Amino acid sequence: MRRKLVAGNWKMHGSLAENEALLSGLLAGMGGVKAGVAVCVPFPYLAQAQARLTGSAVAWGAQNMSQQARGAFTGEVSASMLADFACAYVIVGHSERRALYGESDELVAEKYAAAQAAGMTPILCLGETLSEREGCITEAVVARQLDAVIAKCGVASLARAVVAYEPVWAIGTGVTASPNQAQVVHAFIRARVRALDAGVAAGLIIQYGGSVKANNAAELFGQPDIDGGLIGGASLNVEEFLAICRAG
């Protein structure tokens, strides 16, 4: 039985004061939450997250990292730097990184490999754009993104990873994939992994992301292949995020 995982992606939001209010509210409201919970915070706030969350039921992580180990890469942050702050998770291949910063499938696979080598669990984001969905190539796109990681790291690596299916057209738009639309793609992802390794597929956490809110989380998370969510905007509101966590 897979335990659901609800992870907040704060994106480029927050301040020391705002984070303190969010984290203390989250910690105060965790009673009765069965799902695993994590927050992926901006780099400058990793120390704050570590200080506030160490010893609690809430894990923390980052939203991106370099594929490089160290060197002359101005502005970049390495996996070992994230590990220094005891990050459990790091998001790789978020659609905003792919679209706005030109991250290719191969680069995402390198980041995924570097995250695992440093002992962290990558949250690998996959998902199609609206035009790709309308062109009926959703499965081809998701398969290509997934296969790049399997080609580099092997299917067994997915036992130490989380996959997040995030249709790009649903991220930050208020338009959520219907539970059935999401389930179809989640089942496709799991079947593709199952074809290579049934055990890995059975244990793989596949989150849904894209305008998850308190009022749609339970139905989404109730689908057989949806194992929680990657939550953007709603993770910045403590009551909303806690309600989503309780749906897990």
Is 200 one of the binding residues for ligand PEP (CB under 6 A)?
A: no
Amino acid letter for position 89? Y
Q: Locate 139 and state its tokens.
A: 């499965």
The answer for residues whose C-beta is within 8 angstroms of residue 118's C-beta and 6 or more apart is 78, 79, 80, 82, 83
CA atoms within 13 A on the CB side of 14: 27
Choices 42-50, 101-109, 188-196, 209-217; region in contact with ligand PEP by CB under 6 A: 209-217
Draw the binding track, 97-136, toward ligand PEP (x: CB under 6 A; -: no contact).
----------------------------------------
CA distances in angstroms from 238 to 10, 14, 23, 44, 118, listed in the order given: 12, 13, 8, 20, 30
* CA gap 243, 237 in Å, rounded: 10
Choices 26-34, 100-108, 136-144, 229-237; region in contact with ligand PEP by CB under 6 A: 229-237
94 assigned to active site:
yes
Is 23 one of the binding residues for ligand PEP (CB under 6 A)?
A: no
Please identify, using beta-carbon distances, which residue of 7 and 153 lies nearer to ligand PEP: 7
Choose which of 161, 230, 245, 247 interacts with ligand PEP (CB under 6 A): 230
DSSP for residue 168: G
Active-site residue (options: 110, 166, 186, 240): 166
The per-residue DSSP string of 61-84 comes to: EES---SSSSSS-TT---HHHHHH
Choose which of 172, 178, 195, 222 interacts with ligand PEP (CB under 6 A): 172
The set of catalytic residues is 94, 166
Binding interface with ligand PEP (CB under 6 A): 9, 11, 166, 171-172, 209-212, 230-234
